Structures are given as C-alpha cells and as structure tokens.
Amino acid sequence: MAKNKKQMTAVCKKNDELQLEIIDMGSQGEGIGRYQGYTLFIKDALPFDVVKVKVMKTNKNFGFARLMEIVKPSPFRVESQCPSGRRCGGCQLQHLAYEKQLSWKQDKIAGCLTRIGGFAPDKIQEIMEPIMGMENPTHYRNKSQYPVGYDKEGNLVAGFYAGRTHDIIPERNCLIGNACDQQIVDQVLSYMKEYGVSAYKENTGTGLVRHILIRVGESTGQIMVCLVINGKSLPKSDKLVQRLLECTPNGTDEKYKITSICLNENREKTNVILGNKVIPLYGETYIEDCIGQVKYRISPLSFYQVNPGQTRKLYDTALNYAGLTGNEKVWDLYCGIGTISLFLSQKADSVFGVEIVPQAIEDAKENAKLNGINNATFFVGAAEEVVPREYEKSDGKLRADVVVVDPPRKGCDEVLLQTLVQMQPEKIVYVSCDPATLARDLKFLAEKGYELQRVRGCDMFGFSYHVETVALLSKKNYNDIVLKKRR
C-alpha cells in the first residue's frame, strides 16, 4: 500500500470507466474496491461483485465511483424487494441477503471495539454474543415521516427523499414502513387536492403542509397521524379528520384505528422535521403502546424505538445484563419517555431517569402513573449536567448500583463518563446506536477500572447500515486495580 502512495492520484481520474472486484464494505454499507491499489467507494456494490464503475471524484488516498454495471454478481446479492431501493436514501443494504446483513453488522461492532476501543480481538471474539436478528425484516417500523411537496410537473406528492437530495420519490409502499401508512398518506393527499391545501416549498419557505408523521402502537393498534405545517391551522381540518376516521388503514384488520390526529407547527426554514408546538384535531395528542408488561404513552415529540419486536429483545438483554435482584438503585440516562426505566423498575429498588426533552419527561412521569409504578423519579436536563450536579449535591454519596446509558449517536459526554467513574456503580449497561462512539466510550471506561464483560448486537434497522448494541461493564475488583497499579 505505502509503496503505491505517490502514484495514487494518477491511477484514475473523474469520468474514467473501470472494472474491478469489490473486496469489502464500508461503515455505511458502500462497496470498497481497489483499482491498481487505489481505493474506491461504490454505493450499491457488494463484496465479491465484479462491477463496471465510473469514477466520480478522486481524493489523494481514495475516491468515489458510481456503479454502472454488475458484470458478475456477488453470491450474497439478492433482488431488491423495493422498487425505489436504489434511489431512496432510507435503506443501503436492500440487495444484501438478510443473513449477510446480520453477519456484517456483527463484524462491524467487533471491528469498532478492536480498532477504536482498543480491546484485544481474542477477547471480543470470546465475549461477543450472536446478534439478534428479525424473524421478518420487512414492514417493521412503527414510525414514518413522509415529506410532502411537488414533483417536476407540479403535481402534489408525498414519499421519501432520494439519497442525498430533497427530491421526493412518490413511494409509499415502503419495504420497511408500516402497512398502515399507504392508506393514510393517500387520504391526506386526496384531502389536500380536494380543498386546495398547499404543500410547503423548501426553496421559498411558502406553502403549508411539510410532513406527514405516522406512529403506530403495534400492540394496541392505536395510530397517530400528525401533519407538520408551516402555520397555525389547517383549512377545513374537519374534512381531513372525517376522511382519516372513515378509512381502515390496514385493509380489513380492524385492530388498527386512528385514535389521534394532530398538527405540529414548524415555521422555521430548517431541515428539522418537527417544531415544538402540537395542536390536537381529534383525540389525544398521544398514543399508547406496550412493551412486555409495561404500557407507554407516546407523544409526537418524544423518542420511541421504531422497531417494536426488536425493542423487546433489546430491553430484555439490557435487563438481563443489569442482573437486578430487587435491591438496586438504578440510573437510566438518556431515558426518553422512561421506556427502559420503567422496564427495569419492576426488578429494582428504585430507578432515576434523566432526559433532555421536557415533553419526554412529562410522558415518562405519566407512564409511571399509568403503570402504578412509584419507585421511579425523573429529571429533565442534559445527563452530563444533571448527574454531576446531583453527585455534588449529595456530597459524593449519590449511590448507583447499576447505570444504564442509551445516548444518541454522538455517544456520552466525557464529563458524564468521568462522573460515572466517581460514582463507581457495580455495573454499567451501555445501549448504543453507533458502534464507533460506543467503542470510544468503552475505551474510556475500561481505562478507568471497568471491565467489558458482555456485548450483543440487535438488528433494529434491517436493510440499513445502522445497528444497535448492548454492552455490559463491571467494576473491577479493588484488588485487581491495586495489583495493576503496583505492577
């Protein structure tokens, strides 16, 4: 490799057409091939494909090329089940056999833990449990957000953004979307057409309807339809309500009923989908869903895991790793609507949840009441502020036997990790949606006296490159640490 470095940029240039074999897959599911030692990233190409590509962009050490033709398909290649698979930005692994998606995700987690986390490959091999896959990886999502806009001919459309653009592909029969979505989106569009309600135009910031947000409580069948609008109200909203209530979203299955219709006001010129204000049109501004024995109330603004079947497996794993006996004080950081907190509260002495979104904490408190749970306390605020503050207030006596963290992709703030190390919980259960930041944070904790004991992936997002991971760290024996220091 190093020898080739000097000549690298000369190997190929923009618009060159080349043939090569794909040898690996990048962190976002893109194929990786080498042309005379020069690395090219090729979207939609798979390991062992022999492909013809067109070079799009070259940097010093690597470049990007477009897949033009598959000369010899990889043995792992399958027919994409979605007609918009290649254009849509939602999925990246449509053409990879599901079993291979799982093994790739397993390797991805292991790779991050060794490369970024600095853990020995042998140790990772030994402790990693097999990834939990889905029995049926299609139509698993309980939440969708369809952008509404116009196509090139000026027709009203709703669907998904094409990869890396904001062009709307009018595809509603999404392979991973909920089976109820299509009916609902059709009803909204037909209402808009009939009453001349405009769609939002991103370039001018004018027009009304921006997105259709749909959430389905898989266990209760309750459905929320929330229209994100660039305004305060919707003309003839009663007609929309009427249409939605008259339809059976899931064909003949009467379990699924629209129980909440609302508006969300977003008048900002922004890519952020939701604004802060929710206006009810019909029913409550939330729906309910159950995971195991616990019932949850979910508002449009709160985070809730999108794959209900896999969420159950994820939380069971976290509960199992926490190893609760009933006497523990548990902290659940980044708790959202209290999902994990309440799931664990049944087996703990008490649970303390921390979450930055105030409305999620309102839901969490309400959820505790709804389930008659009275050993859970919730704090609004950033985990990296609340936990150090409570620790200081307690004069360093704040007790946690088990801490669960479930941060967003960027992982935990170092201030928080440092405070956890001071608090010295017996166990830390880390739930992560990004193996790279997980590995970074585990490295920090491993250097400060915590030992990585168990790791397990969970496929929450089939056909995408994302993967969820649960890891268990245990406090090393005092003796182990002293011995190590003396050495």
Residue 280 C-beta: closest distance to ligand SAH, Å: 22
Residue 193 C-beta: closest distance to ligand SAH, Å: 36
Q: Kindly tell me which of 177 and 336 has the beta carbon lying closer to ligand SAH.
A: 336
Q: Kindly tell me which of 30 and 218 has the beta carbon lying closer to ligand SAH.
A: 218
Residue 338 C-beta: closest distance to ligand SAH, Å: 8
Strand partners of residue 265: 229, 277
Catalytic residue list: 433
Compute the residue count for the chain: 487
Residue 424 C-beta: closest distance to ligand SAH, Å: 21
How much of the chain is in helix, strand and coil states, percent to nearest 5?
30, 30, 40
Specify the DSSP class assigned to residue 199: B
Reduced 3-state DSSP string for 352-409: EEEECCHHHHHHHHHHHHHCCCCCEEEEECCHHHHHHHHHHHCCCCCCCCEEEECCCC
Give the 3-state secondary structure of residue 41.
Answer: strand
Q: Kindly tell me which of 96 and 354 has the beta carbon lying closer to ligand SAH.
A: 354
* Measured distance CA(217)–CA(223) in Å, rounded: 6
Q: Kindly tell me which of 407 and 425 has the beta carbon lying closer to ligand SAH.
A: 407
Q: Is 32 exposed, middle or buried (0-12, 13-18, 19+ CB in 10 A)?
A: middle
Residue 46 C-beta: closest distance to ligand SAH, Å: 31
- What radius of gyration, in Å, describes the C-alpha atoms of the chain? 25
Q: Kindly tell me which of 384 and 459 has the beta carbon lying closer to ligand SAH.
A: 384
* Measured distance CA(238)–CA(384) in Å, rounded: 45
Torsion region of 236: left, alpha or beta (phi above 0 gives left; psi -120 to 50 gives alpha): left
Residue 356 C-beta: closest distance to ligand SAH, Å: 4
Residue 336 C-beta: closest distance to ligand SAH, Å: 3
Which parts of this chain interact with ligand SAH (CB under 6 A)?
303-305, 334-336, 339-340, 354-357, 360, 382-384, 406, 408
Show the tokens assigned to 399: 């007790």
* Measured distance CA(423)–CA(421) in Å, rounded: 5
Q: Contacts from 154-157 at CB under 8 Å and sequence distance 24+? A: 156/189, 156/192, 156/193, 156/199, 157/189
CB 209 within 8 A of CB 185: no
Q: Kindly tell me which of 209 and 337 has the beta carbon lying closer to ligand SAH.
A: 337
In this chain, which residue has its C-beta nearest to ligand SAH? Answer: 336
Residue 409 C-beta: closest distance to ligand SAH, Å: 9
Q: Kindly tell me which of 46 and 458 has the beta carbon lying closer to ligand SAH.
A: 458
Show the tokens assigned to 350: 């008490």
* Measured distance CA(427)–CA(404) in Å, rounded: 8
Residue 470 C-beta: closest distance to ligand SAH, Å: 11
Q: Kindly tell me which of 289 and 355 has the beta carbon lying closer to ligand SAH.
A: 355
Q: Kindly tell me which of 9 and 145 has the beta carbon lying closer to ligand SAH.
A: 145
* Measured distance CA(63)–CA(296) in Å, rounded: 47
* Measured distance CA(265)–CA(228) in Å, rounded: 6
| CB neighbour list of residue 239: distance below 8 Å, 6 or more residues apart | 191, 194, 195
How far is Cα of residue 400 from the mean position of the Cα atoms in its chain? 27
Q: Which amino acid is at 67?
A: L
